[in-house]
Amino acid sequence: MPVIIDSLHGFLDEHGLMQADWCVAFSGGLDSSVLLHALSRIDHAGALRAIHVDHGLHADASVWAEHCVQTGRRWKLPVDVVQVQIGVCGQGLESAARDARYRAFREQLRDGEILFTAHHQQDQLETVLLRLLRGAGPAGLAGIRSRTRFASGWLARPLLDVPHDEVIAYARAQDLSWIEDPSNADPGPDRNYLRHHVLPVLRVRWPAVARTGARAARLCADADELLVELAVRDGARAIDHDRLDLRVLAGLSRRRRLNLLRHFLAGQHATMPSETVLHQAENQLMNAREDATVCVAWSHWQLRRYRGRAYLLHADPDRIEAPRDWAGCGVLRLGPLAGTLSLEETAAGGLDPERVESGFEVRFRTGGEVIRRAGHAHRQALKKLFQAAGIVPWIRSHVPLLYVAGELVAVADLWMAQGWQAKPGKPGLAVCWKPGAALR
């Protein structure tokens, strides 16, 4: 039995994938051609198909797509071609193409399907070396994971422990044909430079470098899993959605605080800051004066502090939404921090439907607003009410204020003005506000 087939059997059995439907990311190149052909030779209970993503970046892109379709016909396998648009938008072309490709896979993958990619041992070595040169920690040096959550299922890389020489040997033994992408010969991209100019030199001195690099990646993955387990334990006491209890962090060593911060940011799908910014955030959150305004920003994300908690934001609190009219029907979408507004009928309480039937003007704070709350004898400044309620300062300007004929009748669903309540025993309209970030 060929080494490739034997390795696939071992991987599929180990991860319990023999009953699933399989989908191969099929570029038409050497590696994915070998993977698709080898999987087609394995009897299993599910279906097998392939997806070819046409990036439209090369003059021969349509020829490559047709090659993949014809290959599928010869092997009696369905091959779906998906065309994507590449938007660079501040990132390199290679990175943008990868993002578009995996976005297409997410959209195309069916329920219960396993997506397979053809990364092999040399790909793992290249990834580990590139991340080492960029100063990665254990998570980065763990390289490419053999199996990760993807869409509603899994992304599997069953050839990670297979040497590239075995991939080539299989292709030749099976007389496979494949596409040679000329961009792979360009030494400009870092990965290509490493492949063509660095790895050949390393192999002369250390012939087993790919195998030992893969072992180092597995050891780093083990270390990373231990760090995650520790962060989960610490986070169980400290993390509340997009907030961190700094009193818990104060009881941890600095290394554990940094580890927990990384785990917290990863759990919120935030762009990971540089080491310098992360250390700056930890220092300011823990050591700045109690009355100091703490805000650490990077890549459209912010960490802020208020009353012993750290808050993560993915929007600019200084950008205030414009006033707008609202008839009170349906859901009103206000912005990333202001969230949404709606009205719900209630058997008792809420606003008087007759008095607000003409609709509202929704405004946001500019300063100096006051309200006499229902059941209270005197007017109070919103600034004082927000402070007493513990509303975080950066959200206060995003709390929607409902006006009728120029009079403030409700502050989101927090307070209602005296005189605007539904009559006793009569149905009313309850304001429902879903803010886009934590209030307290």
Instruction: Kindly write down the DSSP assignment for every residue of 282-348, as one continuous string.
Output: HHHHHHS-TTS--EEEETTEEEEEETTEEEEESS-TT-PPPPEEE-S-S-EEEETTTEEEEEEEESS
CB 340 within 8 A of CB 434: yes
∠ at Cα 225 (220, 230), nearest 5°? Answer: 125
List Cβ neighbours of 339 (8 Å cut-off, separation of 6 or more).
398, 433, 434, 435, 436
Nearest alpha carbon to residue 341 among 351, 28, 349: 351
Report the pLDDT value the prediction gives residue 1, as an integer from 0 to 100: 72
| For the chain, domain boundaries | 1-184, 237-313, 324-434
Reported as a single tens digit per residue, the pLDDT across 316-368 is 888 888 999 999 999 999 999 999 999 999 998 999 999 999 999 999 999 99
Instruction: Tell me which CATH code domain 1-184 carries.
Output: 3.40.50.620
Pairing mode of beta strands 401-404, 79-83: unpaired
Pairing mode of beta strands 79-83, 380-381: unpaired
- Whether the per-residue pLDDT at 233 is higher than 90: the answer is yes
Report the pLDDT value the prediction gives residue 89, as an integer from 0 to 100: 61
For the chain, give the percent of residues with pLDDT over 90.
88
Report the pLDDT value the prediction gives residue 318, as an integer from 0 to 100: 84
Pairing mode of beta strands 79-83, 48-54: parallel
Average pLDDT score, the chain? 94
**Would the pTM of this model clear 0.85, i.e. be above it?**
no
Task: In whole angstroms, give the CA distance from residue 2 to residue 382.
Answer: 74
Instruction: Tell me which CATH code domain 237-313 carries.
Output: 1.20.59.20
DSSP 8-class letter at 183: G
Q: Indicate the pLDDT class of residue 94, thresholds 50, 70 and 90.
A: confident
Report the pLDDT value the prediction gives residue 56, as an integer from 0 to 100: 85
Pairing mode of beta strands 153-156, 48-54: unpaired
Mean pLDDT along residues 205-215? 96
DSSP 8-class letter at 81: E
Domains 1-184 and 237-313 share a fold: no
Reported as a single tens digit per residue, the pLDDT across 376-404 is 999 999 999 999 999 999 999 999 999 99
- Whether the per-residue pLDDT at 313 is higher than 90: the answer is yes
SS3 21: strand
Mean pLDDT along residues 177-204? 93
